[in-house]
A and B are shown apart, each in its own frame.
Chain A
Amino acid sequence: MEFIVNNFNYWIYVILMMIGLFAMIAKNNLIKKLVGMTIFQTAIILFYVSIGVKGEGATIPILSYEQVHGTHHVEEADHAGEDDSHHAQADLPEIDARTITNPIPHVLMLTAIVVGVATLGVALAISQRIFHFYGSLDEDVILAKIQKGDG
């Protein structure tokens, strides 16, 4: 039980994914398939977002003014005359990484959402064409028409 509760984010994404997968494979209506596809992709997005979370007290990855500038002068004085790259590296303020959620999965998911939207767009356009050609969005009806030689 504890195992399930502690990892509830994984369980939710798996359940959502299975719902989506079921719809993609078992539904006859093409649009329902696409709904399933969207659920499927959203499940993965949720999974990614949830892995960026870190315990309690972690906050959004935005640095306050003090965090950046408070240490800035000291560092500059210490390392005057060093080369640029090292300079920039040394400039980085000392921050406890545990207090900040990991932003990268979230950023990645922005891209993944875009990809998902694009996929859905293409798929909808294709289903529109299917409807245009076959006058139906039901897989069985379309298959029957193809078999009759209407393909």
Chain B
Amino acid sequence: MVEQFPILIELCPLFGAILIAILGFRMPKLCYPITVLAMALSCAAAIGTFMMMLASPSGTVIYDLSGWGRVNDTAISIEYRVDALSALMLVLISSVAFLNVIYSKVRVAQETPSKIPHFYILYLLLVAGLEGITITNDAFNLYVLVEISSLTGYALIAIGSKRAVISSFNYVIMGTIGASFFLLGVGYLYIKTGTLNMSDIRSIMEAIPDDSKAIKVGFMLIMIGVWVKMAFFPLHGWLPNAYAYAPTATGALMAPLVTKVMIYIMIRMMLSVFGPEYVYETLGWTDVVVTLSTIAIVAGSFFALSRSDLRKMLTYIIVAEVGYMVGGAWLANSQGMTGAIYHLLSDALMTFCLFMVVGIVVSRTGDPKLTAFQGLYRKMPITMVGFTIAALSMIGLPPTCGFFSKWYLLRGGIEAGQYHYVGALLFSSLVNAVLFFRLIEMAYYHGAHAHGEPIRDEDHEQYRMHGADPDSQPKETLANAPWSMLGPMLVVAIGLIALGVFNSTVTEWIGQVVANLNVLEGAN
């Protein structure tokens, strides 16, 4: 049983999806519990796999699908391989998906009452796809799983409003271009190496001369493919609308995870398939890519500043954060790579928390604009606790995880001497500070004061007359959000702080991968 954990991570959501397909249409009430159960099991299996990874002396868990065995120590079948990086990602994906299912209950019933089974089937398949991407060690299998997660993602977005359908179509076009480029790149690697197993590609490629054009083209195609998929500026066009108009629960699942998983693919390709020597030394692209990511950060921040729609704003922040991680991964030192991977985790949680908060706020106030936040500290205090923590983390204030990811990234940037990247990071932090304090301020002022009127006179008159603090009784109360929405959000908010406080443990795990994979120190 225990050794089957790696495959169970993926099987649980798959079978959950089949079960809903069989039962869900007749009994829509069963969909939710089945999904929760499937995700809980998947999450447990992911944690189990994580433990296996920690216990294993080599730091990797290898699982051959359907037990085809090995010839000359090479896998015949598709191989699953879990190292510290993929284990962390697995735990992240499954727990985010699990919490989001709980969160989705009310919103799915409100937004898409007629499509509950559809939603949950697609949801489970999407999660299975994402988990598969992180666990597989087979390049073609990776492509198929990318497409599984994308196809379900297109459909999940299209379930939403009128605008969502259009955005979903654009996403299909861009997503297919990205995935096809990736597939082409894999084809070139296959021509040169004759295998699809990623570790084997690496070992065979070491024997090939460095200046092989086919490999260079393959690498370029793969990078362009994942950059499109992760919305790396200026290839980001599909993202903002797709996530902003998607149904709440879809946005909260896809916004934190999909781009991050694509970044995971990039890092995996750089570290495990091509190898840092090749990527950083032979190619010599570091400066160019870091500059591109600098532009991405600055541009994303500017776009975010100019949006008045809450979720649009968040989506442009995602675009900027993608720049953080791409830049970090390409700094060509272990600090930057550690920062990129740590930020992968922390940014996923921050984005998740913010999308959940925005979902709650929008559903309670019915206002998708920034103004929805007026006076919320009084009206929705619990939600705002989560919001404040996530906002502080986005700005990068200690002790939240956002601070530490910035710390590692900045450190990597300084060590690599890429000061424009350092500057862009700081600029983006300041923009985030402006963005989120605008919201915090709006939430802090309330009632009459929200419009800048002084509180003194009439309110204090009341205070004298009734002996009551005028602020202790909000003039209007918003019925607070259900606990199925608040609970997961608070868990994530606590997670943000926990991830920050225990950052050295996490980076130690990340360090295993980065050290194992032999990132060159100070190669530039």
- Interface, chain A (partner B; CB < 8 A): 21, 24, 30, 33, 37, 40-41, 44, 47-48, 51, 85, 89, 104-105, 108, 111-112, 115, 118-119, 122-123, 125-127, 129-130, 133-134, 142, 146, 151
Contacts and interface: CB of A to CB of B under 8 A. Distances in A.
Given A41-B176, A51-B191, A126 B158 contact: yes
Contacts of A129: 158, 165
Contact of A40 (B71, B162, B176): B176
Contact of B169 (A30, A51, A89): A30
Contacts of B144: 111, 115
- Most A CB contacts (10 A, CB to CB) among B147, B162, B168, B196 go to B162
Contacts of A127: 169
B140 A108 contact: yes
Interface string B140-157: 100110010001001100
- Most A CB contacts (10 A, CB to CB) among B140, B151, B155, B166 go to B166
B486 to A, nearest CB: 31
Nearest to A127: B169
A41 B180 contact: yes
B197 to A, nearest CB: 12
Nearest to A105: B190
A24 to B, nearest CB: 5
A40 B69 CA distance: 37
Contacts of B163: 146, 151
B155 A122 contact: yes
6 contacts: A47-B184, A51-B191, A115-B151, A123-B173, A134-B162, A134-B166
A123 B187 contact: no
Given A126-B169, A151-B163, 20 more contacts: A24-B173, A37-B173, A40-B180, A47-B184, A47-B187, A51-B191, A104-B196, A108-B196, A112-B183, A115-B144, A118-B151, A122-B154, A122-B155, A125-B155, A125-B158, A130-B165, A130-B169, A133-B165, A151-B162, A151-B166
Contacts of A40: 176-177, 180
Contact of A48 (B147, B154, B158, B187): B187
B501 interface: no
B19 interface: no
Given A21-B177, A37-B176, A44-B180, A119 B169 contact: no
A85 B177 contact: no
A80 B247 CA distance: 64
Contact of B177 (A24, A51, A133, A142): A24
Interface string B402-426: 0000000000000000000000000
Contacts of A115: 144, 147, 151
Contacts of A134: 162, 166
A74 to B, nearest CB: 21
Contacts of B151: 115, 118-119, 122
Contacts of B177: 21, 24, 40
B75 interface: no
- Most A CB contacts (10 A, CB to CB) among B69, B140, B163, B172 go to B172
Contact of A126 (B140, B172, B183, B184): B172
Contacts of A142: 166
B261 to A, nearest CB: 17
A141 B177 CA distance: 24
Nearest to A13: B184
A33 B147 CA distance: 19
Interface in B366-414: none
B473 to A, nearest CB: 39
A110 to B, nearest CB: 11
- Most B CB contacts (10 A, CB to CB) among A48, A51, A134 go to A48
A38 B172 CA distance: 12
B173 A133 contact: no
A89 B357 CA distance: 58
Contacts of A89: 71
Contacts of A51: 187, 190-191
Interface string B171-202: 01100110010011001001100001000000
A37 to B, nearest CB: 5
B168 A126 contact: yes
B184 A44 contact: yes
Contacts of B154: 122-123, 126
A147 to B, nearest CB: 12
A112 B142 CA distance: 12
A115 B154 CA distance: 14
Interface in B120-165: 140, 143-144, 147, 151, 154-155, 158, 162-163, 165
Contacts of B69: 85
A113 B187 CA distance: 15
B169 A123 contact: yes
Contacts of B143: 112
A134 B162 CA distance: 8
A142 to B, nearest CB: 6
A21 B190 CA distance: 24
Nearest to A132: B165
Contacts of A126: 154-155, 158, 165, 168-169, 172
Contact of A119 (B140, B158, B172): B172
- Most B CB contacts (10 A, CB to CB) among A105, A118, A123, A133 go to A123
Contacts of B173: 24, 33, 37, 123
Nearest to B146: A115
B165 A44 contact: no
Nearest to A37: B176
Nearest to A84: B69
